[in-house]
Structure formats: C-alpha cells, structure tokens
Amino acid sequence: MEQIIYEQPLNELVRVSLRLEHILQQLNTLNQQPDSPQNTRLIMRFMTDAVNILDRPDYKTKLSKEFERYITVLNPLHNDAKVDQKALHSTLTQLKQYKNYLIDTQGKIAQKLRTNEFLTSIRQSLSIPGGDGCIDTPSYCYWLHQTNEHQKTQINRWLEELTNIRQAISLLLDIIRKSSGPQENLAMKGFYHESLDAQLPCQLIRIALPKEIPLYPEISAGRHRFTIRFITPDIHGRPKQTNQNIRFALTKCIL
C-alpha cells in the first residue's frame, strides 16, 4: 500500500535542513533530465535558492554542533551487543568526516558560489518577479543562449560545490528519521493531541497515510505538545476537518 509521508520539524535546524534537502533533491533530478532552456532555468533558480539558504550565518555552526552531539550520543553504543557495530562504525565515521568538513570550511558553506559575480547577479534578479529576463540580466540571457554542453559543464562545476553539504544533510536527516519507529494511532473525529517530554529532544514528527485516503494532516507542534487535524481537501472552498476516526502511523523522531 503506497503511503504519503508528511513531516513536521520541531526545531529550526531540522526545518532549514528539510528545505535544503528538498532543493538539492530537485537539483539532482533536474540535472539528470534531458537538456532544455526551461530545465536550465529551473536548475539555476533552485541553485540560487540553495545558496540563499546557506547564507544563514548560524547554519554551519549549528550543524557542526549537532553532529558533535550525535557522536556523543552514539559512541556509548559500541558496548551494546544489540547494535550493528559495522553500521555504527560507518555512521560515526561519516559524522566525524562532515563535522570536520564544516569546521574546516572557511567562511560560509559553498563560498565559491556566493562570491561568483555572475551567480550573484542572477540571485539578485531572481528576487524580482520576472527578473531573469534580458531586461534585468543581459549576461544571464547571453549565457542561456550558449550551447547545452557549455551550460552543462558549468552547472556541474557549480553543483560540485554543494556535494559535501548535500551528503551531510542526507546523513543528518537519515539518522533522525531512523531514530524511532512508527506507531499506529487513532485520531478521533479527525483530531489527535499528544504531549511531549521536554527532556527528550524530539527532532521531527512524521505522519504516514495511505495514498488513497482523501485527507491530509495539518500539524501544529511545539516543544511540549503537538496536535494533528486531518483535513478534507477542497480546491474550490475552505478545507474542513473530517468527522471520521482516522488511523494513521506516527513517528516521533527522538535523538
């Protein structure tokens, strides 16, 4: 049975990382598709979105500290016979590798993309509705009329600057998502409420629903509690909470 998984971050680091993951996944998918002017424009837009997110002054520091925390949490598991020691060793090695990458990186992540004048002009133009046309960015217009091979070569060079952070984000979110397993719950008349233990750092809430169920969850979450309302879609009017009892899979990712 195919499911749709909805995710709700419970802190800013995870929220930003999920957005960055989404952007980098789109970039990877688009870069594997046949070349076209429309595809190239989308790649450039997503690339500038990634750089804009990485422009946050605190992101690199928070990410490196979180990797250090995971290393501290996972290290004692070396003495746990129930744990796959090979997988644990691999995870810890990667955590140390990307923590060191973040610490050793001068300036912000993807600094070469941030200081590239051509990309900077595109970033500025894309902040204006319709700003990626020849009126505002003739240099971009010229570049878009070069050969596909020329554009592809340059795009791949730029994307290489995002390889390490893409892998680091993938590791971070994979650890979080696998930190807990799903449990079946029941939302009475489409509503579910649960308190959280503030002493246990819940990073992420995940809700899985069968694709054929015509509902989606609206999640409101804080440090101490979260609520879920299951909503009936309506593209013509105001969506409403269902009155049905809904069974769903809930994962509270605590690490």
**Which H or E element spans position 49?**
helix 37-54
- Ordered domains of the chain (ranges, CATH): 12-175 (1.10.3900.10), 181-254 (2.60.440.10)
pLDDT of residue 211: 93
pLDDT of residue 81: 78
Residue whose C-alpha is closest to residue 140's, from 117, 157, 160: 117
pLDDT of residue 133: 81
* Phi/psi of residue 135, nearest 5 degrees: -60, -45
Structure tokens at 64: 């490196």
pLDDT of residue 200: 85
pLDDT of residue 185: 96
Yes or no: say if 253 and 180 are a contact pair by the CB < 8 Å rule.
yes
pLDDT of residue 130: 83
pLDDT of residue 69: 94
Rounded to an integer, what distance in angstroms lies between the CA atom of residue 191 and that of residue 171? 33
pLDDT of residue 57: 82
Q: Which amino acid is at 54?
A: L
Rounded to an integer, what distance in angstroms lies between the CA atom of residue 252 and that of residue 255? 10
243 Cβ contact partners less than 8 Å away, ≥ 6 residues apart: 189, 190
pLDDT of residue 106: 86
Please, what are the averages of pLDDT over each run of 10 residues along the chain (255 residues)? 94 96 95 90 94 90 95 88 87 95 90 91 87 85 92 95 95 96 96 91 95 95 92 92 96 94
Complete DSSP assignment for 196-215: --TTS-EEEEEEEEETTS--
